């Protein structure tokens, strides 16, 4: 895998008091809890909207936003066809394992991504066994209604990043309100 040294700005929607405490240094990014839900789109990690503070602000209706300078590090980037091929391979192995056990695979249902979460987490764990530590996961999502009738561009499309290794968060800030 290539080591991505790119640095991006990510925005995380949260309680305003939490964002302020992070920026003041009252809470360290090391204490930042990663999301570990079975439906997380990109597996377990701290979720950021890449270059999208308004999407973060709207997320969950809490209104707080913390910005982060993120070094992608070794990134499982699903804009890279090599990485999507890895995902297809892991799917076959997990599917066969579930079949042998007589268990159905979880399914994606709407915005719930139980199947995707399982595949990405399994890929990350198995990669670690091979000496590859994916520090971040990055993926574009087409979401929402078409921008206009017949459009292939959707109003809520975005790029999301899940930070699995908190060392990739180089710093935090509060973005200016819009």
Ranges of each domain in the chain: 7-173
Separation CA 115–CA 30 (nearest Å): 28
Give the burial class of 20: count Cβ atoms within 10 A of its Cβ; 0-12 exposed, 13-18 middle, 19 or more buried. Answer: middle
Terminal Cα-to-Cα distance of the chain (whole angstroms)? 38
User: Mind listing the pLDDT tens digit for each residue in 83-130?
Assistant: 999 999 999 999 999 999 999 999 999 889 999 999 999 999 999 999
Q: Please write the tens of the pLDDT for every residue from 20-43.
A: 999 999 999 888 999 999 889 999
CB atoms within 10 A of CB 70: 24
């Amino acid at each position: 895998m290539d080591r991505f040294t790119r640095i991006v700005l990510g925005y995380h929607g949260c309680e305003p008091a939490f964002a302020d405490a992070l920026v003041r240094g009252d809470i360290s990014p090391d204490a930042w809890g990663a999301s570990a839900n079975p439906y997380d789109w990109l597996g377990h990690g701290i979720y950021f909207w890449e270059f999208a503070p308004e999407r973060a602000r709207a997320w969950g209706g809490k209104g707080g936003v913390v910005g982060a300078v993120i070094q992608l590090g070794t990134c499982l980037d699903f804009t890279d066809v090599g990485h999507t091929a890895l995902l297809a391979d892991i799917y076959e192995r997990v599917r066969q394992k579930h079949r042998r056990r007589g268990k159905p695979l979880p399914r994606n249902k709407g915005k719930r991504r139980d199947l995707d979460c399982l595949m990405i987490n399994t890929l990350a764990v198995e990669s670690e066994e091979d000496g590859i530590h994916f520090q971040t996961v990055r993926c574009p999502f087409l979401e929402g209604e078409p921008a206009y009738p017949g459009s292939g561009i959707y109003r809520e499309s975005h790029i999301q990043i899940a930070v699995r290794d908190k060392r990739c968060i180089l710093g935090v800030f509060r973005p200016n309100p819009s």
